[in-house]
Amino acid sequence: MGFLEGKAAIVTGAGQGIGQGIALALADAGASVAVVGRTGSKLRATCELIDERGGHAIPIICDVTSIEEVTSCIRQTVGQLGGVNILVNNAQSYPYGNLLDVTEEAADEAWRSGPLATWRFMRLAHPYLRGDGVIVNMSSSTTIMHDGGFYGMYSAVKSAIAALTRAAAVEWGPDAIRTLVVMPASESPALENFERERPERYAEMLSRIPLRRFGHPELDIGRAVAWACGPDARYITGSTLMLDGGQMLLR
């Protein structure tokens, strides 16, 4: 039996990249996983990978910017998996660009898909998480970079998510709910696009990682998240897990 046997998890943005890697790792550890995202074909592909390994997963199409769809996602998960023990808020749009260049539309989408969606999922899942629940929210090393230009709006969004996580650690600790922030430096479709569109910035980012590689979504990010959701990490809350190959040393 895996160390997450009997647990039910929600992972948003789980159709690809980091979200998929986390979903696979949680399932390998024994959790049943609600694979959440906007594109049904990608969700089904992730579920098939989990099924092939002997795990259990269900696809749930959900636009995290919609309160109605977030509410429905929680209800479907509870109805089909029996509850919610682990919540991973990973879905997020990426408003890269200088502050004068980021559009109103991109900024609005980032705030609605990031902090607002994270807060909604957290509070709606709270009744089910009480007693032994874990929330993992994805932030970014851009929030602590010394030269945050070009990432300003994205950094602001991710900083807000970290603030929500810290507040929940304090407020919900007495409910036996742990909350964690993860700062990953990982391979992903978004990173691949970034490399194609801005190769010089990509090379600069890579040069700052002592291990000289971006993490694997499942082996480097997903498995660490799964461990953090398990019993061996039961005294860790309100903390930031740096899964970045040393990119931000000793933070």
At 234 the three-state DSSP class reads coil
96 is catalytic: no
Catalytic site residue from 94, 128, 151, 154: 154
Total residues found in the chain within this entry = 251
At 133 the three-state DSSP class reads strand
Q: Which two tokens stand for residue 24?
A: 């696979």
100 φ/ψ angles, rounded to the nearest 5 degrees: -80, -15
At 52 the three-state DSSP class reads helix
* Whether 8 contacts 71, CB under 8 Å: no
- The span from the CA of 135 to the CA of 181, in Å, is 8
Catalytic residues: 154
